[in-house]
A = this chain, B = another copy of it.
């Protein structure tokens, strides 16, 4: 078995959505002066590679601690979408994956966009799901949909229809995945266990893939 790390490194000053605070890691104690090192971590619930809970966009919907632990582990299929840069991924393209999606608990869209992480280009012109695609996908028995992008809706969308469509069906959205080109198999086991912050709308994760 091999384990593939699908997570970005989080460090002080990482680029974030406009208007949000950057992550900040600061030394609180160090070995030379104090005998032990401790680092203060100031982040928010959607920094780095992370999960969106339904409560991120829907009032009184489920938070991450409202799901059983098995929600964050399962059989995944990767679907390439490099051809849809600056476009919507159309339903017509997804239809050919229908039989494979039926066998899967997670879909991971690989756009290659993760290579732009921490550059200003990361924040626009990426592929997003069309609303028609999202509605169709929301009728499968999926635990989550992951992507190597900062949003599953257009960056300037105020109505976030794709997020809402998936969240209404309690499908997790996993954003800012990394290293997707290292996935050499179409199917794999995907894991996205969040830190157990109480009743939270999202959490950084160490996303990993397990392959035979």
Contact = CB atoms under 8 A, between A and B. Distances in A.
Interface stretch (A39-47, A85-93, A100-108): A39-47
A21 B160 CA distance: 37
B201 A37 contact: yes
Which of A39, A55, A65: most chain B Cβ within 10 A? A39
A198 B9 contact: yes
Contacts of A201: 37-39
Nearest to A23: B197
A68 B199 CA distance: 31
Interface string A1-23: 00111011111000000001100
A158 B36 CA distance: 10
A199 to B, nearest CB: 8
A200 B57 contact: no
A41 B193 contact: no
A55 B31 CA distance: 8
Interface of A: 3-5, 7-11, 20-21, 25, 28, 31-32, 35-46, 48-49, 55-59, 65, 69-70, 72-73, 158, 160, 191, 193-198, 200-202, 204-206, 208
10 contacts: A3-B73, A4-B69, A7-B195, A11-B198, A25-B197, A36-B160, A37-B55, A37-B56, A191-B193, A193-B206
